[in-house]
Amino acid sequence: MRKLKAIILLLIAFATQVVAQSPVYLCAGTSHNFGVPYTMGSSYNWQVQGNTSIATITSGNGTEHIIMDLNNSGVFQLLVEEIDVNGCSGYDSVLVEVHALPNPNIYALGPISFCEGDSVLLQVDSSYSSQIWNNGSTAITTYADTSGGYFINVTDINGCSNTSNSINVNVSSKPVANFIVDGVCVNTPSMFVNTSTVNIGNIANSIWYLGNGEVVNGDSLLYTYTNAGDYFTQLYVTSDGGCVDSIGKSYTIFNNPKADFIYTPFTVSTLQPEMNFVTITPNYTSVFWDFDDTTFSTLPNPIYEFEQAGVYDVWLTVTDSNQCMDSVMHRITMYYDFVLHVPTAFTPNGDGDNDTFGPNGLRMEHYKEYAFYIYNQWGERIFETEDVNEWWTGADFPAEVYSWVLIITDELGAVRKKNGLVTLIK
């Protein structure tokens, strides 16, 4: 059997031709291709010589091209035997040195859970020929300021690459503290409205420092200042992620205006019901009158007529430019004018003219009580009624002079009494 003219075969590793016996440097944990130029009709027998645990032929043995798994670091010789169509054999080999993969480890120089706006420094445990973090940084350290997993891929001096462990960073949204103050008047509740926000999560806690030594926990709140002056209130809010923000605002608590009014005349009655009201509050911007009879006015100096006798609590509410308010009440009495017309004579003759006798008066239908009596000359009561619409007819009574008595309780509860004489004419 004729020997092969050339016993040196070309081995291909990493798709690169190398001369036989030239050392090849590879990395453990990877798969690699090895091959020789193909000769028609030849078969190829590949063998790992040395420590067979370093590498394993996984496919292609018997052909000019194989795939090998590189399991561990170490040195082995890869031998290939070519048997041509004539049964002649030729050999070639290559020395392969397998390097262990680098084992980078990263660690955090600080807490990995923090609030938006902060960061944590991550560092790899050693220096390598090159490295790149998954956030694009190529230094041995990197700052992590957003939520996610961080790792690094390194390459050592042997050209072997590996990826580090991963560190999960949790960044919680930071709240934005804010509030508004509605109502800045002394002795009147001020509404502190919490308008703080947070992008992700909720506001879990709110603490108010009200500028006068008072500290209050709560979302929105009502608070009454008893002294006018300038105040600086601070609000601290904490999200459910434990992040904190604060804000402080200055504002002034103003004194309330002093509501007051005068009125003329001092008293009114059913005959003279008109009254003039005049606002005497300084520096007001608006007024509101309540006349205690479902009637209201926004005129500064209204003129008003009461319709019914009675006692009225008239209220004036004034508002100033700071929206501070005050109210005052004066009690007004509208008296009943006891106005009556009682005839001095009547003629009960059935002619339809002046046939009955009784009083006529203003607003008699509003009397609370009514009693009308007729007496003869001997003082005997000959007629009585409690009905304002019932009059004495005088029937069957002789023509003479009679006396009468009228007793009422008016609209204000006052008892009024009148009496007189009447002549019955026949």
Q: Which residues pair with 320 in a beta bridge?
A: none
pLDDT at 393: 94
pLDDT at 19: 40
Residue located via tokens 């911007």: 285
pLDDT at 20: 44
Q: What's the whole-number mean pLDDT along residues 15-22? A: 43
User: Dihedral through CA 389, CA 393, CA 394, CA 395, nearest 10?
Assistant: -150
User: Whole-angstrom Cα distance, residue 422 to residue 404?
Assistant: 7
User: Whole-angstrom Cα distance, residue 236 to residue 217?
Assistant: 10
Residue located via tokens 């091959």: 35
pLDDT at 396: 87
Q: Report residue 383 as tokens.
A: 């007629």
- The closest alpha carbon to 112, from 82, 147, 71, 160, belongs to 147
CB 415 within 8 A of CB 409: yes
Residue 257, helix vs strand vs coil: coil
- 366 in the Ramachandran plot: left (φ > 0), alpha (ψ -120 to 50) or beta? alpha
pLDDT at 155: 97
Q: What's the whole-number mean pLDDT along residues 261-290? A: 94
The amino acid sitting at 246 is: S
Q: Which residue has the higher pLDDT, 350 or 173?
A: 173
- The closest alpha carbon to 68, from 26, 40, 110, 124, belongs to 26
Domains and CATH numbers, the chain: 11-99 (2.60.40.1080), 106-172 (2.60.40.10), 179-253 (2.60.40.10), 261-335 (2.60.40.10), 340-424 (2.60.40)
The count of residues in the chain is 426
Residue located via tokens 């291709």: 33
Structure confidence at residue 267 as a pLDDT band (50, 70, 90): confident
Q: What's the whole-number mean pLDDT along residues 139-155? A: 97
Exposed/middle/buried for residue 199 (C-beta within 10 Å: 0-12, 13-18, 19+): exposed
Q: Which residue has the higher pLDDT, 356 or 11?
A: 356
The angle subtended at Cα 306 by Cα 304 and Cα 309, nearest 5°, is 155
List, for residues 186-211, the tens digit of each pLDDT value.
Answer: 999 999 999 999 999 999 999 999 99
Residue 365: DSSP 8-state: G
- 363 in the Ramachandran plot: left (φ > 0), alpha (ψ -120 to 50) or beta? left
Q: What's the whole-number mean pLDDT along residues 325-346? A: 92
List, for residues 226-253, the tens digit of each pLDDT value.
Answer: 999 999 999 999 999 999 999 999 999 9
The amino acid sitting at 158 is: N
The amino acid sitting at 9 is: L
- The closest alpha carbon to 391, from 340, 357, 349, 425, belongs to 357
CB 192 within 8 A of CB 216: no
Q: Report residue 215 as tokens.
A: 């500290």
pLDDT at 115: 95
Structure confidence at residue 309 as a pLDDT band (50, 70, 90): confident
User: Over 90: is that where the pLDDT of 351 sits?
Assistant: no
Q: Report residue 309 as tokens.
A: 């006798």
Structure confidence at residue 339 as a pLDDT band (50, 70, 90): confident
User: Over 80: is that where the pLDDT of 18 sits?
Assistant: no
Q: What's the whole-number mean pLDDT along residues 141-170? A: 96
293-328 CB burial, b ≥16 within 10 A, e <16: eeeebeebebebebeebbebebbbbbbbebebbbee
The amino acid sitting at 370 is: Y
Q: What is the mean pLDDT of the chain?
A: 91
User: Over 60: is that where the pLDDT of 409 sits?
Assistant: yes
User: Over 50: is that where the pLDDT of 256 sits?
Assistant: yes
Q: What's the whole-number mean pLDDT along residues 261-271? A: 91
DSSP H or E run through 18: strand 16-18
Q: What's the whole-number mean pLDDT along residues 52-70? A: 95
pLDDT at 21: 57
How many CA atoms lie less than 13 Å away from 237 in the CB half-sphere? 25
Q: Which of 116-125, 148-157, 256-265, 360-369 has the lowest mean pLDDT?
A: 360-369
User: Whole-angstrom Cα distance, residue 133 to residue 164?
Assistant: 10
What is the pTM assigned to this prediction? Answer: 0.61
Q: What are the angstrom distances between the C-alpha of 253 and each of 62, 232, 259?
A: 97, 11, 18
User: Over 90: is that where the pLDDT of 109 sits?
Assistant: yes
